[in-house]
């Protein structure tokens, strides 16, 4: 018998797993198992159907189960098969996750797309998706499901699809270039435990804030309807609003005449002049676009009012309150917030209400502001401060330790800047870190030729920006864009280019590292099976095997670049003087899942790109090696956010931020010379 049994559930529920997460879905009383299939590496799938007795196999088998997104199978088995039906427990230590293998191999994280990328599956039959919707979701407008007795053919097809998924999982597992194993298996399973443990939240306050948001939303919708005389029911109607704003003068005249004709309530409506509705065409309704239009365009008061309301209503952060309520479980926690190896470098990706994407502005006195939300209506609150902005500032504090517990939160200090200098062997910069010198001040001092003590605030800011924007081969346009993100507009091309030159002149080893990574990657592709070190850098070996490029890190973990090859490319760029240049070269290209289009497509990889992946990966490895030490010391991790750890501990002196920082800063053998530092706080509520 094979050491691994491939497994897949088909379930149905009244709740939407995409909105609630796996654990909230699994614990819902309406969630039930319709069937499951299983097979070994050499046998055809077998099927269990709801109502049948437990197969003898599950009473005797003691080996490993494999599934695609095994957290789902683990939760469903525990909540339904074990707790409800009394079947044997299957602890997470007996599961492996094929989706995790796909993530480590940099392949798509959906079963069908991964199979297509590997060339072993056809495009998913849309009829199958429709079938799942028909049988696994309630009949529209009801809480009832279609019974098997009335739809025998549909259920027979569902069972076939379940068996097909098991076959696909097995074939994908056998085809992926990398598998989660060893210490990485420990990292993955700890991620599962963190997801199952959840983040404790202040459910009572979340409900009250959400109520005030709903009140405010209804009030604003009424204002929109009144202002537009019913042309818009809400400013959340994005496309209709854009069309409404785009009306030209002739259309505006028709609009005004029609507005008067449809007046039925006897009120004297203000007659808006054509000049007040000149018509504006926006390229999109993104937040930055609206902000720029309101600041720079000459728009009418009518248009300005609509845009300001739209901007107010589309605080994406306030939508997190509804997501929290959907995701909160019976124990008062929000679970399933991390995707193991969600980024190609191995870092977590955010899921659920996405704690990695919370607003930076956080209320300094959340208890006082919460009293306002409990004691006043949305209308009363809005007279004093904007309701949605206030709600947004309370999102972080909604993460709250339970009674007799506290939050201990710490993160690595400027860890990527340290990692960049460490990999490029920039001993002068590493020594500055060891002496506690701010790297942004040190760079600004070199750029502007003045002592650190005499730097102006603006000089310091540019020192910070070049370190953040240019460390991975970013040029003057990258610096300008980064500056705009910090609210610093007006930086010209020539000035930005001069800053970039000063930065690169000050860090020749870093510039050499970009070239070294590009050269080593290209040499590896030209010489399959040969390990090619990035010259002058810490351990960074590329090798090429069966069409995939691998980068071995100091920790001995490997990054994968699928279907890598060398392609001729023509590079065109515009310099700071506006002159266009072009040249022909050869570039490493590889397949990836485009983070914007979500398509499996080819991209170019520069030396700076590869170097960035390397630095982020080693910073990730520092954190992942520290997490088991934190757990063992009693710092139970609720979530990881980038280079930050939020733990929940008993509220007593045995647990402190000083001890947590010390545990985080233990230097692994492979990171000798890396100047690690961390800082944080203890609190009842989460804050920035």
Residue 63 falls within a domain, yes or no? yes
Which comes out higher in pLDDT, residue 489 or 672? Answer: 672
What is the tens place of the pLDDT at every residue in 374-415? 999 988 888 888 888 899 999 999 999 999 999 999 999 999
Buried/exposed 362-372: b ≥16 CB within 10 Å, e otherwise: bbeebeebbee
Instruction: Say if CB 617 and CB 607 are below 8 A apart.
Output: no
- Which of 506, 524, 553 is at the close of a domain? 506
Residues 502 and 621 in one domain: no
Q: Judge if 625 and 492 occupy the same domain.
A: no
Structure tokens at 118: 């590997």
Q: In whole angstroms, give the CA distance from residue 402 to residue 201.
A: 8
Question: How far is CA 687 from its chain centroid?
Answer: 19
- Looking up residue 37, the CATH number of its domain turns out to be 3.30.420.10
Among 506, 527, 542, which residue terminates a domain? 506
Look-up of token digits 């400027």:
414
With respect to residue 485, please indicate whether it lies within any of the assigned structural domains. Answer: yes
Asked if residues 404 and 382 have their Cβ atoms less than 8 Å apart, the reply is no
pLDDT top residue among 246 and 19: 19
Q: Is 87 helix (H, G, I), strand (E, B) or coil?
A: coil
Take residue 100 and report the two structure tokens written for it: 């995790």
User: By residue range, what is the domain housing residue 72?
Assistant: 4-180
- Answer yes or no: is 591 within a domain: no
- Domain presence at residue 464: yes
Residue 97 resides in a domain: yes
Please count the structural domains in the chain: 3
- Coil, helix or strand for 48? strand
Helix (H) or strand (E) holding 51: none
pLDDT tens sequence across 357-373: 888 889 999 999 999 99
In a domain, 484, yes or no: yes
**pLDDT, averaged across the chain:** 91
- Cβ 78 vs Cβ 26: under 8 Å: yes
Mean pLDDT of 233-244: 79
Report pTM: 0.90
**For tokens 């679970």, what's the residue?**
335
* 248 CA to centre of own chain: 40
Give me the mean pLDDT over the 464-483 stretch: 93
Same-domain pairing of 498 and 626: no
Distance of CA 184 to the CA centre of its chain: 20
- Domain membership of residue 31 (yes or no) is yes
How many angstroms separate the CA atoms of 98 and 341, rounded? 12
Using alpha carbons, select from 74, 167, 58 the residue that is nearest to residue 121.
167
Say if CB 47 and CB 159 are below 8 A apart: yes
> In the prediction, which pLDDT does 278 show?
53
State the angle between helix axes of 493-506 and 457-470 in degrees (0 to 180), rounded to the nearest 10: 70
Residue where one domain finishes, among candidates 448, 475, 506: 506
> Which two structure tokens, joined as six digits, stand for 137?
């979701």
Residue 286, in any domain of the structure: no
């Amino acid at each position: 018998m094979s050491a691994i049994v491939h497994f897949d559930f088909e379930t149905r529920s009244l709740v939407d797993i995409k909105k609630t997460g796996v654990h909230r879905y699994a614990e819902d009383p309406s969630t039930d198992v319709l069937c499951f299939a299983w097979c070994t590496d050499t046998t055809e799938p077998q099927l269990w159907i709801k109502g049948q007795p437990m197969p003898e196999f599950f009473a005797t088998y003691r080996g490993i189960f494999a599934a695609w997104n095994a957290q789902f199978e683990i939760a469903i088995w525990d909540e339904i098969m074990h707790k409800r039906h009394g079947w044997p427990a299957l602890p997470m230590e007996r599961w492996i996750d094929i989706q995790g293998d796909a993530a480590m191999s940099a392949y798509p994280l959906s079963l069908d797309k991964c199979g297509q990328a590997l060339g072993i599956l056809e495009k998913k039959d849309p009829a199958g998706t429709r079938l799942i919707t028909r049988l696994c979701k309630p009949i529209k407008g009801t809480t009832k499901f279609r019974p098997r007795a009335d739809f025998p053919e549909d259920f027979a097809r569902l069972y076939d699809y379940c068996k097909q998924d098991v076959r696909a999982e097995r074939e994908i597992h056998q085809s992926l270039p990398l598998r989660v194993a060893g210490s990485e298996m420990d990292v993955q399973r700890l991620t599962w435990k963190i997801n199952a443990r959840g983040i404790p939240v202040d459910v009572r306050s979340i409900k009250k804030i959400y109520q005030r948001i709903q009140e405010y939303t209804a009030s604003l919708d009424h204002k929109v309807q009144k202002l537009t005389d019913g042309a818009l029911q809400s400013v959340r109607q994005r496309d209709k609003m854009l069309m409404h704003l785009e009306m030209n003068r002739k259309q505006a005249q028709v609009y005004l005449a029609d507005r008067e004709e449809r007046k039925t309530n006897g009120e004297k409506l203000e007659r808006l002049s054509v000049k007040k509705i000149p018509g504006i065409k926006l390229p999109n309704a993104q937040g930055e676009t609206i902000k720029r239009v309101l600041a720079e365009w000459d728009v009418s008061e009518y248009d300005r009012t609509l845009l300001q309301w739209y901007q107010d209503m589309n605080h994406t952060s306030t939508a997190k309150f509804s997501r929290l309520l959907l995701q909160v479980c019976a124990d008062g926690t929000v679970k399933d917030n991390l995707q193991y190896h969600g980024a190609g470098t191995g870092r977590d990706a955010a899921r659920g209400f996405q704690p990695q994407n919370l607003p930076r502005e956080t209320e300094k006195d959340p208890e006082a502001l919460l009293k306002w939300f409990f004691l006043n209506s949305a209308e009363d609150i809005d007279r004093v401060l904007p309701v949605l902005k206030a709600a947004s500032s309370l999102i972080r504090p909604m993460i709250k330790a339970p009674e007799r517990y506290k939050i201990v939160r710490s993160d690595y200090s400027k860890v990527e800047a340290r990692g960049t200098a460490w990999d490029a062997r920039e001993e002068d910069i590493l020594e500055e870190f060891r002496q506690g010198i701010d790297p942004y001040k040190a760079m600004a001092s070199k750029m502007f030729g003045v002592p650190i003590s005499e730097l102006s605030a603006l000089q310091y800011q540019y020192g910070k920006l070049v370190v953040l924007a240019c460390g991975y081969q970013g040029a003057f346009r990258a610096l300008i864009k980064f500056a705009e993100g910090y609210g610093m507009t007006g930086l010209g091309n020539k000035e930005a280019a001069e800053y970039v030159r000063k930065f690169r002149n000050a860090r020749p080893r870093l510039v050499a590292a970009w070239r070294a990574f590009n050269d080593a990657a290209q040499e590896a592709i030209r010489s399959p099976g040969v390990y090619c070190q990035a010259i002058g850098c810490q351990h960074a070996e590329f090798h090429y095997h069966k069409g995939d490029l691998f980068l071995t890190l100091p920790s001995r973990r490997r990054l994968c670049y699928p279907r890598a090859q060398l392609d001729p490319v023509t590079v065109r760029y515009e310099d700071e003087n506006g002159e266009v240049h072009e040249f022909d070269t050869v570039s490493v290209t590889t397949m990836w899942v485009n983070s914007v289009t979500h398509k499996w497509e080819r991209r170019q990889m520069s030396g700076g790109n590869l170097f960035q992946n390397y630095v982020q990966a080693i910073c990730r490895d520092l954190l992942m090696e520290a997490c088991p030490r934190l757990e063992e010391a009693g710092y139970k991790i609720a979530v990881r956010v980038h280079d930050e750890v939020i733990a929940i501990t008993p509220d007593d002196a045995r647990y402190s931020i000083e001890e947590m920082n010390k545990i985080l800063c233990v230097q692994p053998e492979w990171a000798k010379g890396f100047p690690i530092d961390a800082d944080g706080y203890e609190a009842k509520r989460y804050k920035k």
